[in-house]
Amino acid sequence: MSEKGGGTLVVPFGVWFTGPIVFRSNINLHLEKGALLLFSPDFDAYPLVETSFEGLDTKRCQSPISGRNLENIAITGKGSINGSGHAWRPLKRVKVTENYWKGVVKSGGVLSADRQTWYPSEKSKKGEEYAERNLNVPRRILTDAEWRSAKDFMRPVMVSFINCKNVLLEDVLFENSPSWNLHPLMCENVIIDNIIVRNPAFAQNGDGVDLESCKNSIIINSVFDVGDDAICIKSGKDEDGRRRGIPTENLIVDNCKVFNGHGGFVVGSEMSGGVRNISVRNCEFLGTDVGLRFKSTRGRGGLVENIYIENISMFDIATESLLFDLFYGGKSTVEALHGGAPVRDAVIPQVSETTPSFRNIYIKNVISRNARRAMYFNGLPEMNISNINIEDAIITSKVGAELSESDGITFKNVTIIPEEGPALILNNVKNLKVADFYSPDLATIVKVTGRQNNNIQLPETIKKEKIDRQTMN
């Protein structure tokens, strides 16, 4: 079909059981109403292939749907695609009910030594021996025999399009992926419109869409209810990402809803190739761990800039409505919260190509109800997050906003109503300008700590006795 100019491959009503599908150029895979494309849970149907996962060059099992170096490809229609991800994914006992856990254990598979993690096979369990985190890269170069011995652990993303141009995903339900659901990598002109993406809340690495090193894309009118980050922007990790050097740029996200996930809209943590020129508007985040989540760590490098976010509503956010975390350690924010505060280096490293940078971010018209913490800016001492502008925001939360290692932050017409503690905690903050700030009549509205604070401008409406200046230069 492709050789003759392409066309539409129609999947009619019914349940269609299949192995992996490899796309060709000029093909539209169209699922009619009532059509379910169900992928086989037989691991042997998915050979190991060279690919990229979590921003690093590695091997993974072949994706249920894949394509490389193609043009004009589409998945459309009112049907559904199910990746049989439950057969692939390890399961942590703590994340499910006891009855569910007993049912999974009874189905087969093997348990970890502490009996708190279920693996679908011995090969899946074997992968833990080689994994740094999600086996995104082995700790050492593996032999072919070692790769084969841990093959089942290399769970594939469900839809993998690499270096493709003119990609359309429209109207389809994507669900139950072995790992990430949708992964456009180094693609150009990607349109994602009116899709639904679902995974159980306990689905390990069950991201919605991970747009990586892509140019000129839109994600609109779509719904996400997933087990990890929902709408996630990436561009490669560490040396592999910097060597690739392809940013994600020129992206519009509009009219999307996220019902569950580690983050609603997310940048990072794999952003070593850079992220720029992003517009996010008219979105709702309902019950996510974080609302707007920006994350990276030392060693990444990369520049994130020119992000414009407007008209965002959030409800029941488990941790922060807005998070910048440059000490990201590979855990979800809820897991990190339960694990305690991170330990920081006593010696501050020099700025280099491995230092990540986040700057020039504009956030306007945000309403968040019932978050744990209003905001958390956790920058690097050697490279502060800078020029972050928050305007017209109303946030109710258990605790207020905490800004650390930040430079050039502007609040304009911002309301923060915490249940306890100050509305603003400032630690080593420079060139902060707060105008038209409202918070209830707290015992302390602003608390200033750290020894590197400079040029903090607070409005006159905040009385001096409401400001706790513990250590302010």
Q: Are 19 and 39 in contact (CB under 8 A)?
A: yes
Name the residue type at position 385: I
- Give me the sign of the Cα torsion angle 18, 19, 20, 23: negative
Residue 78: CB atoms within 10 Å: 14
Containing H/E element for 468? strand 467-469
How far apart CA 464 and CA 173 sit, in angstroms, is 55
Q: Is 282 exposed, middle or buried (0-12, 13-18, 19+ CB in 10 A)?
A: middle
Q: Is 262 a catalytic residue?
A: yes
The two structure tokens encoding residue 373: 């913490």
> E strands within 152-228?
159-162, 165-170, 173-175, 182-185, 188-193, 196-198, 209-212, 215-220, 223-225
Q: How far apart are CA 250 and CA 224, in angstroms?
A: 22
Give me the numbers of helices (H) and strands (E) for the chain, helices first please.
5, 37
> Which residues have a Cβ under 8 Å from the Cβ of 55 and sit 6 or more positions away?
136, 212, 234, 235, 236, 237, 238, 240, 241, 270, 272
Q: Which of 183, 207, 262, 325 is catalytic?
A: 262
How many Å apart are CA 57 and CA 138, to the nearest integer? 10
Among 171, 225, 228, 240, the one annotated catalytic: 228
Which residues are registered as beta bridge partners of 283? Answer: 312
DSSP state of 333: H
Cα distances (Å, whole numbers) of residue 279 to 148, 249, 251, 271: 43, 10, 6, 17
Instruction: Judge whether 183 counts as a catalytic residue.
Output: no
**What are the start-end ranges of the H helices in 351-447?**
none
How many C-beta atoms lie closer than 10 Å to residue 455's C-beta?
Answer: 11
Element at 343 (helix H, strand E): none
Give the pair of three-digit tokens for residue 97.
């009910």
Strand partners, 307: 278, 361
Residue 449 DSSP SS3:
strand
Q: Using an 8 Å Cβ cutoff, are 461 and 445 in contact? A: no
* Close Cβ partners of 99 (under 8 Å, ≥ 6 residues apart): none
Which positions are annotated as active-site residues? 228, 262
